Amino acid sequence: MSIRSHLGLKTAAVMLAAGGLGVGLIGSGVRASFTQTGTATANVAVGTESLSISAPGGTVVGNTVTVNCPTIQSSAAGTCPLTVSVKNTGSMPFTLSVVSSDGLSTPWSDMLAVPGPIPAPQVVAPNATAVFNGGIAWSVLSNTDLGTAKSLTYTFTATA
């Protein structure tokens, strides 16, 4: 074997290897990539829920109102009425419901529930006012009622 044929074979092998490698790189290097980016923004404003309660003759604490009746001076039947106004001071309507802590027993009764059930929930628009007429009523009192104290609290819940 001559040096020339040996170099030719070696050169041919190197050339074939380089050619194969070149074809492989060209095949994997040919490609295209496209990218697009976009942005979307959604602005959402949520209203506010707020209420203001007033009850002349009652004690308002948060969303509760307690009926304050003066001392009863007679055994005759009577009432201690209470008008509660609930104003929607928020920016969206809400559904207003009231629950009474009516633990009263005869001869005492909750005027909000007399002559029927407690009012159904009401939808109150912004800046509108819902009015509830309640309080404590009693029939003729007896000696067993002397010295007793009764309490009644209404709790108002607004749900938007």
CATH of domain 51-159: 2.60.40
**pLDDT beneath 50, residues of the chain:** none
What pLDDT is attached to residue 8? 66
Q: How far is CA 18 from CA 2, 22, 27, 29, 135, in A?
A: 24, 6, 14, 16, 102
Query: In which order are the strands placed within the sheet that holds 51-54?
Result: 51-54, 78-88, 129-138, 108-110
pTM of the model: 0.69
Q: Where do the structural domains in the chain lie, given as residue ranges?
A: 51-159
Q: Which residues contact 108 (CB under 8 A, 6 or more apart)?
A: 136, 137, 138, 150
What pLDDT is attached to residue 83? 92
